[in-house]
Structure 1
């Protein structure tokens, strides 16, 4: 059932597009090739288990965590928004 100007399935289409973009962004950030034995940023040793688990790894866990935190703040926007944000 359509609501307002939105067509049937519009909300699901937005959700699907958001998920698709997130997957594409994650895939584009994945490194290819052999894993490094030392972190690109801090030169710490990257354990063999991490190199095996994450092919093409370039950063140690601490540096990767810091980068993920930075990117989390700069990630995309919520297309759907919340009712509170629409009312302000």
Structure 2
């Protein structure tokens, strides 16, 4: 029988795997990316545009995701 530290590590690994699987299961944007953010109208970096289906700059996307978690 393991000690509490082994149990905590096993739980953390399980939670990490669940989180990764949940992220991978989310639908990915597709299609052409916008050149400018739909929220702030700042230019979206070319490397981010290359991902496809990008409509927001990184700061605006971060805010949108934080709001949707609430």
TM-score by length of 2: 0.55
Residue 2 of structure 1 is matched in structure 2 by 2
Q: Is the contact between residue 32 and residue 54 of structure 2 (CA under 8 Å) also seen in structure 1? A: yes
| Aligned residue-pair number | 67
Q: In the alignment, what sits opposite 2:17? A: 20
CA RMSD of aligned residues (A): 3.1
Structure 2 residues not aligned, in runs of 5+: none
Q: Which residue pairs with 1:47 in the alignment?
A: 45
Which has a greater percent of helix?
2
Q: Structure 1: any 5+ residue segments left out of the alignment? A: 75-88
Query: Larger C-alpha radius of gyration, 1 or 2?
Result: 1
